[in-house]
Every structure is written in structure tokens, then in C-alpha cells.
Amino acid sequence: MTSVNKLLRKQLTRDDWIIIISNLVPVAGAWFFGWSVVEVFIVYALETIIVGLFTIIKLLAATVAKRTDTWYNQGSQQQVSGLFFIFFFIMHFGIFTAVQMSIFSGVANISLPGKGAMHFFFHWWEYINEDIAYMLGGFIISYLARDLIPFFARKDHKTTPMMILMFQPYGRILVQQFTVILGSMFLSFNLGKVFILVFALAKIFVEIFLNFDRLLGNTLPARAGTDGDESGTPSGKQ
């Protein structure tokens, strides 16, 4: 009960309002302005790619600044090149994203005629029309304003462990992937608008009230959190 009261008393920041607005704009479009529900779900699916690209930019900046960093694996640790972190992230996150988008495209039946389930992942730009471009642009501006620009302003690329930078997207993306795939099933029953609203509210709650960075910092060895605060929270924020 104390935790619930603490959440309810949270003072919303500028970044919190950016999250709220960017997630509710597609909802308003689908409910009141005739935007396609399928297109809104496509945007939420493509948001995964945006997050991945921004993470690669962060890792590239950290590689230029530090060249190497500590890689933790089953209790052992070693110094590896930042390029290894980037390669591992592209492969691991790429497979993660490919599975999500192929399931989504299959269940929602959005693949182009004669194309397989993986076509959406490998040719995602072919699915972007004017409305989708506007919605994607809103999310890109949102991530720039509350994530990438502050990241460089705080010089987090020089202090945040690359292991943490690499895994920061996964917490939010896991929630997003589950809800996007589940939402695509609702499309089959013409309940897309209802689920988009529920999904957006759940996504807002997760992004604002659940501190994935603190959870991530606590899962890595103590050394990985030494560049953040004493509690092990990394100094960067996805």
C-alpha cells in the first residue's frame, strides 16, 4: 500500500509529460481522427527499431570515448572493445526484434501480398505511409528530447558502463513486444481501439513509474554501478 501511495504522489517531470503526450497522440488519432488502428500498431512495433538505433548511437559514442569496457559473463569479467558490445547488441537485439515483428505481422495480417512473415522486419520502410511517418516522427522527437540529447549533455557516454547501455532497452521493449503482439490479436475481433487505449496507458505507467535502470544496475556486479549513484543505478537513462 505504501508503494502505491508513493506512486500516486510522484511529481511528473517534463520528460514524463513528453512520454504521456507522445503515447496518447496515436490513441487520439485512432479514436477521434480516423487514423488506422493497424497503422498505430505498426508505429508501436517500429518504435523498437528506433530504440535500437538510439542505443547503437550511444554505444558508438561510448566506444569513441572509452574504446574498451568491462564485459561480465557468468561471474567472470574482462576488458573488450566497444565494437564487441555493438556487434553483440545488433545480433541479439536484432533477433529479438525480428521475432516480434514477424509474429506481429503474421497475427495482424499486415504483410504485403506474396511476402513472408519476415518481410516486415527486413523491409519495414515499405510499410511507412504519411500518417505512420508523422506518428514515428513524434516518437523520434520524444526520444531525442528525453533521452539522447540529455545523454550527451550529461556526458553519460563517458561514465555509464557499456554493459548497462547495451541492456537498457530490453525492459521496456519486453513489455512493448508482449502488448503489441497481444494487441494484434485484438485486431481480429475489431477491438483494436480499446486495446490501443489500454496499451498506451500501460506503456505510460511502465515508462514513468517503473525504474528499469535501477533494476538493471542491481542485476550487474557492483563494479558496473560505480559510475552511477551509490545504489547501483546507472548514470544513463534509456
Q: 50, 49, 40, 45: which is closest to 132 by C-alpha?
A: 40
Burial of 176 (C-beta count, 10 Å sphere; 0-12/13-18/19+): buried
Q: What confidence score (pLDDT) does residue 153 get?
A: 95
Q: What confidence score (pLDDT) does residue 228 get?
A: 41
Angle formed at CA 53 by CA 69 and CA 18, multiple of 5 degrees: 105
Task: Categorise residue 155: left if φ over 0, alpha if ψ from -120 to 50, beta otherwise.
Answer: left
**Burial profile 24-60: b = 16 or more Cβ within 10 angstroms, e = fewer:** ebbbebbeeeebebbbbbbbbbbbbbbbbebbbebbe
Q: For each of the chain's 238 residues, which pLDDT tens digit applies?
A: 444 455 556 688 888 888 888 888 888 888 888 888 888 878 888 888 888 999 999 999 999 999 999 898 877 889 999 999 999 999 999 888 888 788 777 766 777 777 777 888 888 888 888 888 988 888 899 889 888 999 999 999 999 999 889 988 887 667 666 666 676 667 666 777 887 787 788 778 877 777 566 556 556 654 444 444 433 444 444 4
Whole-number Å distance between alpha carbons of 198 and 193: 9
Q: What confidence score (pLDDT) does residue 151 get?
A: 93
Whole-number Å distance between alpha carbons of 11 and 39: 33
> What values do phi and psi take at 123, rounded to 5?
-135, 40
